Amino acid sequence: MELLIVGIGQLVTPQARGMELAAHERCYIKIRDGKIAEFGPLDRAPAPSPPHLRELDARGGVVLPGLVDPHTHAVFAETREEEFLRRCRGERYTSGGIRTTVAAVRRASEEDLYQSAKRFLLEMLCQGTTTVEVKSGYGLDLENELKLLRVIKRLDEDLPLDLVPTFLGAHAVPEGKSSSEYVREVLAMIPEVKRLGLAEFCDVFCEPGFFSVEESRKILSACRAAGLKLKIHADELEWSGGAELAAELGAVSADHLLRASDEGLKRLKEAGVIPVLLPGTAFTLNAPFPPVRKMLEAGLPVALATDFNPGTCLISSMLFIVTLAVMRMGMTVEEALIAATRNGAWALGLQDRGVIAPGMLADLVILDLDNYKQIPYFIGHDRVRYVLKRGEVVYAHPSLCQD
Ligand code: NIG
Ligand code: FE
């Protein structure tokens, strides 16, 4: 099956490596069997369509690789707007919020969890996200962690997005348990999670008051031995030593890093760990933004994600995250777009997407904008016109059905 996208005003893509963004004016893209076959200047586009070649007109818009969101907690029950509003009035963030959601998840049926997450994930898709990592972590016992992971698996099968499942049993210590007792429980969950094939990654909230470096090391080492890839919530609310631990264990990514030390960053670079930054969380918590310039200067391939969750960040749009990264964190628009596409894919261990080049997956977003510099500038506008997943149009803006 072939598809020809014509009328591209600007084709924007990261290169295979480095932090230079390429922008090509007036292009076409030819897609075959879900992958990019070729792209080039419009005047060299293949001749008028034979019957097997479908055509899509980008109407002068900007084409980007599908956005990759490598850190979300999108499966949960109920909402926490009261807590959010109390925090807006100065209250401090605590682990109590996670426990509220845990109680709600334990009450919820699998079907309710499925329907609520489906809605959020489709919202992400309509905003250009084509690959999303989703964590468990609101069950905090075997039965409920498996319930969340089964929901993620079903959603991956049913929705056009690719979901990457992560086991986050160590998200918080459940009420009434000591942390050492609960760490033993998490260790006992790992073989079952692995046996059922329900997770690709394991993650731990390594943070004072949640899981210490020693406890995190125990859990992550056991996950690694079971064949899961590793992620760490590191140095979010306080410096935790989480970045150093990510490097020591060879994690694929270390996430948050608001308070990471210089030594921690150096070790991430040496160990090839991808830093995943979540400016939506810093924005929502009114916390300092991570030291991104330091990371980029150190040559770290920074990725961006939403951290979409009911407590610390309800932002579902990666385009808005790009805006925040540019406005508040000091990234250039070029760096932010690379971080939201190719580097996000790397943070999930995926090399087959996030770049527009022959052989890569044809996951694409078409924006109704004149050029990519308008992406952070049109803050929160509704400019996604088409989303393609593996070469299929999986979203078209409603306004396109009217003309
Ligand atoms: O990424 N860091 C841990 N978990 C979430 C917050 C979860 C919640 O409050 O429900 C986060 O910030
Ligand atoms: Fe998180």
3 state DSSP class of 261: coil
Kindly tell me if the per-residue pLDDT of 1 is higher than 90: no
Task: Note whether 2-65+354-401 and 67-346 share their fold.
Answer: no
Kindly tell me if the per-residue pLDDT of 360 is higher than 90: yes
Kindly tell me if the per-residue pLDDT of 266 is higher than 80: yes
Encoded tokens for 399 = 């306004």
* Ligand 1 nearest atom to the CA of residue 138, by list position: 10
H helix intervals, 55-204: 81-88, 96-107, 110-126, 142-158, 179-195
Q: Which residue has the higher pLDDT, 198 or 401?
A: 198
For the Cβ of 216 lying below 6 angstroms from any atom of ligand 1, the answer is no
Pairing of strands 67-69, 129-135: parallel
User: Residue 93: its pLDDT value, please?
Assistant: 84
DSSP states of 27-88 as a string?
EEEEEETTEEEEEEEGGGSPSS--TTEEEEE-TT-EEEEPEEE--------S--HHHHHHHH
Per-residue pLDDT, averaged over 218-240, amounts to 95
Probe target for ligand 1 pocket from 78, 307, 313, 321, with the most ligand atoms within 8 Å of CB: 307
For the Cβ of 87 lying below 6 angstroms from any atom of ligand 1, the answer is no
Rounded Cα–Cα distance for residues 279 and 283 (Å): 6
Kindly tell me if the per-residue pLDDT of 50 is higher than 80: no
Expressed in angstroms and rounded, the spacing between residue 71 Cα and the centre of ligand 2 is 6
Closest CA to 75 of 154, 188, 177: 154
Instruction: Choose the weakest-confidence range: 93-102, 252-261, 330-339.
Output: 93-102
53, β-bridge pairs: 2
DSSP 398: G
- pLDDT of 106-130, one tens digit each? 999 999 999 999 999 999 999 999 9
23, β-bridge pairs: 12
Per-residue pLDDT, averaged over 161-180, amounts to 96
For the Cβ of 83 lying below 6 angstroms from any atom of ligand 1, the answer is no
Query: Percent of the chain, pLDDT > 90?
Result: 93
Q: H/E element holding 133?
A: strand 129-135
Probe target for ligand 1 pocket from 309, 314, 315, 321, with the most ligand atoms within 8 Å of CB: 309
Fold (topology level) of 67-346: TIM Barrel (3.20.20)
User: Residue 51: its pLDDT value, please?
Assistant: 67
At residue 216 the predicted structure's pLDDT band, cuts being 50, 70 and 90, is: very high
- pLDDT of 272-327, one tens digit each? 999 999 999 999 999 899 999 999 999 999 999 999 999 999 999 999 999 999 99
User: Residue 403: its pLDDT value, please?
Assistant: 59
Per-residue pLDDT, averaged over 233-259, amounts to 94
Expressed in angstroms and rounded, the spacing between residue 104 Cα and the centre of ligand 1 is 15
Closest CA to 187 of 200, 210, 204, 207: 204
Domain 2-65+354-401 has CATH 3.30.559.10: no
Domain ranges in the chain are 2-65+354-401, 67-346
Kindly tell me if the per-residue pLDDT of 49 is higher than 70: no
User: Residue 401: its pLDDT value, please?
Assistant: 78
Instruction: Choose the weakest-confidence range: 94-98, 123-127, 150-154, 266-270.
Output: 94-98
